[in-house]
A and B are shown apart, each in its own frame.
Chain A
Amino acid sequence: MQVIFDSLPYLLEGLRVTLYIFCVAIVLGFILGLLLALLRLAPIKVLNWIAKIFIDAIRGTPILVQLFFFYYGLNSLEFVSLDRTTAGIITVAINAGAYFAENIRAGIQSMDKGQTEAARSLGLTATQNMRYIILPQAFRRMLPTFTNQAIISLKDTSLLSIIGIADLTQQGNVVIASTFKAFEIWLAVGVMYFVMIYLLSLLSSYLERRFELR
């Protein structure tokens, strides 16, 4: 037990890095996902294709390969210089974005056509319809799948320890290297991830209740 208390400052520092990367990546990922979903549904074929190819490429390759590509691959080019954290955030954000995109697209397409017809018949533009009528309703429906993706992305951040980002997992490694208490430390790290994810699902069920479809 003592070893956990002693290493707590290190682990908490790792937790801070994990939370920081997760928060930035999930926000960027969500914006990217929304953008990709709108491109997928845009009335211009070329845009549909671009979004589809991008989504397929991300979903069709392992996140670890993407991480190596963004960090080692891109950095091997002369004109690129990405630090670890940026490469890590990009990887998690793009990955989340591709999955968000498909969830958002499905959510938008599941909306009753009558909603759009009513909005357009009142003279609202396609953009206003999307913003005031379709997306607010679609987002409420999609909240459970958003939570799911957020949880997956949070856990994905632990992969970033491989390129040496000092996140919670990496800090666990570091502490074990000096204390040799693998059982206690990995248990503590696991509990810390679990608590974060549990809080995330609590937040999600609160939001679901708050924005219940009437």
Chain B
Amino acid sequence: MTTMIEVKNLQKKYGDLEVLQDISANIKEKEVVCIIGASGSGKSTFLRCMNRLEDITSGQVIINGQDVTDKSININKIRQEVGMVFQHFNLFPHKTVMQNIILAPMKTRGISKEEAVKKGQELLAKVGLSDKADSYPGSLSGGQKQRVAIARALAMNPKVMLFDEPTSALDPEMVGDVLEVMKELAHEGMTMVVVTHEMGFAREVADRVLFIDKGVIVEENEPVELFSNPQHERTQSFLSKVL
């Protein structure tokens, strides 16, 4: 399988604070990788460096053959291929669900409204929200918002999807619906990088799990191995608290 994302010696500093130290990782096409770790470990920052929502201090992130850190490259073009789902959904509250979905395809790719709406309807059906096309985000529940956010990201036909704690802000009864949509995506062969606290999801869906602590990848393995037989003392300590 070809490499989708290659991270080489990534370092991220806020002033003197080193949030990520020399991280290297490979994510292959169609692979689902979950990133786990305590809050403040740098896992979200790591994810956000992948589409350069965070400036990268040093090192490289290469997505689909293109170096994200190369200043001469058009970062907007790369981001069109990299979907992102946020903890707090970040839907556009002044636009309807359908307008949220069709905005980027129309403005960045010049797709006609008819075509964008057609695709939007397919995506809403896929996330189980066909009846919400004309609703505003304010009238949706958290779980519905997050499914719309996933549909919005998918509308760009991304090659890879980044999820930044997609279920952390949801009421417990909403989590299942969102995870269900993500599982379906994974089964369709979407390349996914998921920062999550949902160990059950990581165990069931991930091909690989990375454990990050204090800005370094402490351990990585297949989920079954990592969860049942963690090698590193810090991994053991973290897992004993969350499992």
Contact = CB atoms under 8 A, between A and B. Distances in A.
Interface in A95-140: 112, 114-115, 117-125, 128, 132-133, 136-137, 140
A214 interface: yes
Interface residues of B, number: 30
Given A121-B51, A122-B104, A123-B80, A214 B91 contact: no
Interface stretch (B27-35, B81-89, B173-181): B81-89
B234 interface: no
Interface in B135-154: 136-139, 149, 152-153
Contact of A123 (B94, B138, B156): B156
Interface string A178-214: 0000000000000000000000000000000000011
A123 B108 contact: yes
Contact of B93 (A122, A132, A137): A137
B153 A122 contact: yes
A118 B92 contact: yes
A187 to B, nearest CB: 44
B241 interface: no
Contacts of B80: 122-123
B86 A125 contact: no
A114 B78 CA distance: 19
Contacts of B94: 136-137, 140, 213-214
B88 A114 contact: yes
A128 B90 contact: no
B1 interface: no
B108 A118 contact: no
Interface in B91-109: 91-94, 103-104, 107-108
B243 interface: no
Query: Which of B94, B136, B152 has the most C-beta atoms of chain A within 10 angstroms of its own C-beta?
Result: B94
Contact of A121 (B79, B88, B137, B139): B79
Nearest to A116: B90
B108 A121 contact: no
A214 B92 contact: no
B53 interface: yes
A129 B80 CA distance: 14
B71 interface: no
B76 A133 contact: no
A18 to B, nearest CB: 34
Nearest to B87: A114
Nearest to B53: A117
Contacts of B91: 118
A125 B76 CA distance: 6
B79 A123 contact: yes
Query: Which of A125, A213, A214 has the most C-beta atoms of chain B within 10 angstroms of its own C-beta?
Result: A214
Contact of A132 (B103, B137, B153): B103
B214 to A, nearest CB: 25
B136 to A, nearest CB: 4
Nearest to B76: A123
Contacts of A137: 92-94
Interface string A58-73: 0000000000000000
Interface of A: 112, 114-115, 117-125, 128, 132-133, 136-137, 140, 213-214
Given A117-B84, A123-B77, A124-B103, 10 more contacts: A114-B90, A117-B53, A118-B86, A121-B82, A122-B80, A124-B104, A125-B76, A128-B107, A136-B94, A137-B93
Interface of B: 51, 53, 76-84, 86, 88, 90-94, 103-104, 107-108, 136-139, 149, 152-153, 156
Closest 3 CB pairs of A and B: A123-B80, A118-B90, A122-B104
13 contacts: A112-B90, A121-B51, A121-B83, A122-B156, A123-B78, A123-B79, A123-B81, A124-B104, A124-B107, A125-B76, A132-B107, A213-B93, A214-B136
